[in-house]
Structure 1
């Protein structure tokens, strides 16, 4: 019995270096947001005051990629590149490098599976964009 236990321990120790170099990818399904019809309100901020919201509706599928679903509202689409992406079960954070604007940081934080807030803040500390998302209902068709 000692030999088989010793063999098991040696086998586990031999696998430890492999586990250390194997990249771990988070499953989109572990993200803490419910699928369904979401109302997204994006407000651009100038001189500390937020504009009227631009309202967007979109249907989020089960297991959808959180980056393409909940971080797609970033201003200057196509003009900015997201880097240093950090994902947790209820938040996304990233840095923005833009062609025509100062570097910025962005985040989305879920306070429940049906609601989130987020913003983009310039390198100087000024808020540039504010976002809020609310899940309203289940999606009823592909056109939702």
Structure 2
């Protein structure tokens, strides 16, 4: 009889826990963004008439626990004074809107397919994709000057 009661209580607890997770919204913890710290090579390409131009190469050292918004969304090129709004963050992606004074509004995103690689783009209203970005982690940072 004791075994049945324990099993019954366990089943009730499991059902309760499952029900709570189904209605509780899940938010990304600031510490669990899916990108590794280290030295990143970023390739930035401007898109004109549907064709990506030659890449601009940027190197960036990412610290452990760095803010994903200032680290992986700072590449967004701005035509005039722009403000990022409607920021959405998940463990492996960032998405946001850009409202610019001198250009049409745009949307941007960064998607990680692994902790060492991401792609992203900016799409402007009425113009389509205007910028592409790709990041690859190469190594650990060896000094603050990396």
TM-score bucket (shorter structure): 0.7 to 0.9
The TM-score normalised by the length of structure 1 is 0.80
Shift of residue 27 of structure 1?
3.7
Q: Does 1:105 align with 2:110?
A: no
Matches of 1:81 and 1:66 in 2, distance apart?
A: 17
Shift of residue 108 of structure 1?
0.2
Choose the corresponding residue for 1:132, options 131, 134, 140.
134
Choose the corresponding residue for 1:49, options 45, 48, 51.
51
Map 1:85-100 to 2 at 5 A.
Answer: 85-100=87-102
Q: Is the 8 A contact 1:37 1:59 kept in 2?
A: yes
The TM-score normalised by the length of structure 2 is 0.79
Q: Deviations over 1:26-46 (max 9, x none)?
A: 443210000000000000000
Matches of 2:127 and 2:35 in 1, distance apart?
A: 28
Q: Is the 8 A contact 2:79 2:102 kept in 1?
A: no
- Decide which moves more: 31-40 or 121-130: 121-130
What is the RMSD computed on CA atoms of the aligned residues? 1.8
Structure 2 unaligned blocks of 5 or more: 1-23
Matches of 1:78 and 1:38 in 2, distance apart?
A: 27
Give aligned pairs, total.
122
Q: Does 1:61 align with 2:63?
A: yes
Q: Is the 8 A contact 1:70 1:108 kept in 2?
A: yes
